[in-house]
C-alpha cells in the first residue's frame, strides 16, 4: 500500500491543497515521509454529507451484512499486519510485539461486534401486546428496539495507533450499531491511520456498501475536529485522550443548536489500595508487579496505577524501598510525542514543588538518552497533604506514580471518599483485610467502572462483561463503556412503535420473530414467536 498523505473521503482521496505536516519518529526525532495534508472545510462538509446519505441505507442493512463487513475489515488488517506494524513502530516507537498484539486486539474487537450483530439480540427488543380488556383503559400494542443515531465522529488516540484509532473500538462499535463513521486521524501516526483507512475503504467497496459509510480526515491540529463536532449532520462523538481535549469537545457538542452526545474517555489515575495483610504476605511481589504495571507502555496506558495508598508501617517501607529501587534503575522510556514528553516533564517538575510531596526515586537522564525519552518517577505524600490538594489526584501521563501513606482505617475511608471518578480501582488484600475494610469496596464502586482484586489495572480484556468507563472526569458519561460488546449501546437510541401493522415493523419486532433473537415479551425474556 502507498501512503499518499491525503485524507480519505468516501471512495476518493482529498486534494493536497491544505497545509502540510509530518510524522516524527519518537525514538530518534527523525522526520518521516511523506508529507501529509490537512483537510479543509470543503472536505469536512463532503465527508459529513456522504455519511448522512449513507446512513439512510446502512442503518437498515441486516446484522448478517454488518457482520460480513466487520469481518472483512479484520481480514484485510490481518493481511497487511507486517506493513501496519512497521509503520506504527516508526511513528510511535512502541515495540513491534506490542503493536502485533494491538493488531490482534483490533481484529478481535471487529469480530466480537460481528458476532453481536449477527446474533441480533443486542437491539433489546421489547413487546407489550395490546390488551383491549384492560381497565380503566385499553392498552395499545407497544414495541420498541434500539436504532442507530447517525454519522459518528471518532477521534484516534495517541497511545493506541491501532486498537483505539481508525479501526479501533469506537469505530467498530459505531459501525456495528449501523452508523457511518468519520475518523479524525491522530497527527502522531498519520501514516498508520491512512494505511488502515485504505483497508476500511476497500472493505466498504468489497461489501457493496454506500460510499459515505467511512471517511478519514487528517490534520495536525484541532480545526478539523472542531468542525466535525459542530457539523449539523454529525450525531455523536467517540474520543479517547486528555481531559482538556475531551472537555472541550463536550462543551462544543453541548453548545450546538442540536446538542449531541460525546463519549469521551479522558483522564484517570486508577487508585490502588494495598491493605495490611497483603502487604505483609506479598510486599516484594506487589512492588515488582506495581512497577511492571506502572511502566507498561511507558506509563501511557489510561489504566496506569497513578495512586498507591499504603498503611504507615514497616511493611510499607520495605515495599517502597523495593519499588523505588526498580524505578531508579529503570531504563529510559520513550513517550509518543514531544508534546506528551513536555507535559510529563512539566507535571513531574511541578509535583516536586507541591507542599507535602517528596520525590522518592527517579531514573536519572543518561548521556545517550534519545529524543522523546524520560525516566520513571516515584513520589510520596502524607494523607493530609493529599486531602488538602486536589491536584495530587490529577493524572500524570507517563511512568510516574504517587504513594499516599495513611495511619488509620478511618483515613483510608476518607481518602477513598475524596476520590473523583476513575476507570479502575484496585484492592490488594487477604480475606481478613476484606472483612476489616468491607466498607472500602462500597465506597470505591461509586467511584469507578471496574474494580480489580489482587491484580493490576493495566490490560483491558475485550469481552462482553468488560467495563472500560467510569464517573466523570474519567469519562463524559459513567453509564457507558468504550471496550467490550457493551460499547455498541453508546451509538443508538430506543424507538417505540405503537399500534403498527405487522408488515410495517422491523424484523426484530415482528410476531414471528424471524431472526430468532431474545426479546422481552410482556415482561418475560423469550425467543418464542408472538402468537397473539
Q: Name residue, grid cell 520525590.
A: 359
Relative to beta strand 377-382, strand 424-428 is unpaired
d(CA 320, CA 384): 19
Q: With a cut of 70, say whether residue 532 has pLDDT above it.
A: no
Q: In this predicted model, what pLDDT tens digit does every residue of 350-388 receive, in sequence order?
A: 999 999 999 999 987 555 556 688 999 999 999 999 999
Residue 273: its pLDDT value, please?
Answer: 98
271-453 maps to which CATH number? Answer: 3.40.309.10
Lowest mean pLDDT among 146-150, 243-247, 312-316, 440-444: 312-316
293: pLDDT confidence band, cut at 50, 70 and 90? very high
Q: Name residue, grid cell 486486539.
A: 105
* C-alpha cell read off for 530: 408472538
Q: In this predicted model, what pLDDT tens digit does every residue of 336-345 receive, in sequence order?
A: 998 999 999 9
Residue 156: its pLDDT value, please?
Answer: 97
Residue 365: its pLDDT value, please?
Answer: 59
Supply φ then ψ for residue 35, to 5 degrees. -75, 150
d(CA 438, CA 430): 12
Q: With a cut of 90, say whether residue 27 has pLDDT above it.
A: no
Mean pLDDT of 130-142: 95
210: pLDDT confidence band, cut at 50, 70 and 90? very high
Residue 126: its pLDDT value, please?
Answer: 98
Q: With a cut of 70, say whether residue 521 has pLDDT above it.
A: yes
Mean pLDDT of 437-457: 96
Domains 8-17+33-266+480-489 and 271-453 share a fold: no
Residue 105: its pLDDT value, please?
Answer: 96
Q: With a cut of 60, say whether residue 118 has pLDDT above it.
A: yes
* Catalytic member of 118, 211, 265, 380: 265
- Domain borders along the chain are 8-17+33-266+480-489, 271-453
Name all contacts of 380-387 with Cβ < 8 Å and 24+ positions apart: 380/320, 380/404, 380/405, 381/354, 381/356, 381/357, 381/405, 382/356, 383/407, 383/411, 383/414, 383/415, 384/356, 385/354, 385/355, 385/356, 385/357, 386/356, 386/415, 387/414, 387/415, 387/418
Residue 208: its pLDDT value, please?
Answer: 98
Say whether 302 is catalytic. Answer: yes
How far, in Å, are 110, 264, 276, 493 from residue 271 at the CA level?
31, 20, 16, 33
Residue 17: its pLDDT value, please?
Answer: 82
Q: What is the mean pLDDT of the chain?
A: 95
Residue 314: its pLDDT value, please?
Answer: 87
* Catalytic member of 107, 302, 380, 508: 302
d(CA 348, CA 391): 12
Mean pLDDT of 134-155: 97
Q: In this predicted model, what pLDDT tens digit does every residue of 47-98 receive, in sequence order?
A: 999 999 999 999 999 999 999 999 999 999 999 999 999 999 999 999 999 9
d(CA 531, CA 513): 10
Residue 366: its pLDDT value, please?
Answer: 55
Listed residue (330, 345, 408, 415) closest to 381, CA to CA: 415
Say whether 492 is catalytic. Answer: no
Residue 351: its pLDDT value, please?
Answer: 95
Residue 18: its pLDDT value, please?
Answer: 87
Q: Please say whether the structural domain 8-17+33-266+480-489 has been given the CATH code 3.40.630.10.
A: no
d(CA 273, CA 275): 6
Mean pLDDT of 120-141: 96
Q: With a cut of 90, say whether residue 43 has pLDDT above it.
A: yes
How much is the pTM?
Answer: 0.96
Residue 459: its pLDDT value, please?
Answer: 87
Mean pLDDT of 14-39: 92
Q: Is the peptide bond before 34 cis (omega within 30 degrees of 0)?
A: yes
Amino acid at each position: 500500500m502507498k501512503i499518499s498523505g491525503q485524507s480519505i473521503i468516501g471512495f476518493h482521496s482529498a486534494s493536497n491543497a491544505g497545509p502540510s505536516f509530518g510524522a516524527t519518529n519518537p525514538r530518534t526525532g527523525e522526520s518521516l515521509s511523506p508529507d501529509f495534508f490537512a483537510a479543509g472545510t470543503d472536505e469536512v462538509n463532503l465527508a459529513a454529507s456522504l455519511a448522512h446519505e449513507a446512513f439512510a441505507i446502512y442503518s437498515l442493512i441486516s446484522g448478517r451484512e454488518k457482520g460480513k463487513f466487520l469481518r472483512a475489515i479484520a481480514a484485510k488488517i490481518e493481511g497487511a499486519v507486517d506493513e501496519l506494524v512497521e509503520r506504527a513502530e516508526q511513528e510511535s516507537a512502541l515495540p513491534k510485539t506490542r503493536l502485533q498484539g494491538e493488531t490482534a486486539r483490533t481484529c478481535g474487537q471487529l469480530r466480537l461486534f460481528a458476532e453481536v450483530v449477527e446474533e441480533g439480540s443486542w437491539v433489546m427488543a421489547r413487546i407489550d401486546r395490546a390488551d383491549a380488556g384492560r381497565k380503566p383503559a385499553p392498552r395499545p400494542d407497544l414495541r420498541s428496539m434500539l436504532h442507530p443515531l447517525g454519522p459518528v465522529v471518532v477521534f484516534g488516540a495517541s497511545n493506541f495507533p491501532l486498537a483505539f484509532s481508525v479501526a479501533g473500538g469506537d469505530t467498530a462499535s459505531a459501525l456495528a450499531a449501523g452508523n457511518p463513521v468519520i475518523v479524525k486521524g491522530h497527527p502522531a501516526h498519520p501514516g498508520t491511520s491512512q494505511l488502515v483507512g485504505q483497508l476500511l475503504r476497500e472493505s466498504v467497496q468489497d461489501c457493496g456498501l454506500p460510499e459515505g459509510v467511512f471517511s478519514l480526515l487528517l490534520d495536525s491540529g484541532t480545526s478539523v475536529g472542531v468542525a466535525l463536532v459542530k457539523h449539523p449532520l454529525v450525531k455523536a462523538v467517540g474520543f479517547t485522550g486528555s481531559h482538556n481535549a475531551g472537555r472541550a469537545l463536550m462543551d462544543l457538542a453541548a453548545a450546538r443548536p442540536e446538542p449531541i452526545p460525546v463519549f469521551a474517555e479522558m483522564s484517570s489515575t486508577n487508585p490502588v489500595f494495598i491493605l495490611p495483610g497483603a502487604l505483609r504476605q506479598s510486599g516484594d511481589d506487589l512492588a515488582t508487579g506495581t512497577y511492571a504495571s506502572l511502566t507498561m507502555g511507558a506509563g501511557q496506558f489510561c489504566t496506569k496505577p497513578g495512586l498507591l495508598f499504603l498503611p504507615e508501617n514497616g511493611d510499607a517501607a520495605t515495599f517502597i524501598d523495593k519499588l523505588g529501587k526498580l524505578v531508579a534503575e529503570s531504563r529510559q522510556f520513550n513517550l509518543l510525542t514531544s508534546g506528551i514528553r513536555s507535559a510529563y516533564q512539566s507535571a513531574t517538575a511541578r509535583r516536586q514543588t507541591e507542599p507535602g510531596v517528596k520525590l522518592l526515586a527517579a531514573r536519572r537522564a543518561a548521556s545517550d538518552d534519545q529524543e522523546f525519552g524520560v525516566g520513571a518517577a516515584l513520589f510520596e505524600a502524607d494523607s493530609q497533604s493529599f486531602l488538602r490538594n486536589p491536584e495530587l489526584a490529577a493524572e500524570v501521563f507517563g511512568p510516574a506514580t504517587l504513594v499516599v501513606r495513611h495511619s488509620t482505617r478511618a483515613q483510608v475511608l476518607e481518602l477513598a471518599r475524596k476520590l473523583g471518578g476513575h476507570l479502575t480501582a484496585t484492592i490488594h488484600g487477604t480475606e481478613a483485610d476484606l472483612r476489616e475494610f468491607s466498607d472500602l469496596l462500597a465506597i470505591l464502586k461509586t467511584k469507578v467502572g471496574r474494580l480489580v482484586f489482587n491484580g493490576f489495572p493495566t490490560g483491558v480484556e475485550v469481552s462482553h462483561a468488560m467495563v472500560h468507563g467510569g464517573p466523570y472526569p474519567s469519562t463524559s458519561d459513567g453509564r457507558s463503556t468504550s471496550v467490550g460488546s457493551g460499547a455498541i449501546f453508546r451509538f443508538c437510541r430506543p424507538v417505540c412503535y405503537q399500534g403498527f401493522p405487522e408488515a410495517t415493523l422491523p424484523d426484530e419486532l415482528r410476531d414471528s420473530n424471524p431472526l430468532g433473537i431474545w426479546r422481552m415479551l410482556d415482561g418475560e425474556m423469550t425467543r418464542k414467536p408472538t402468537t397473539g
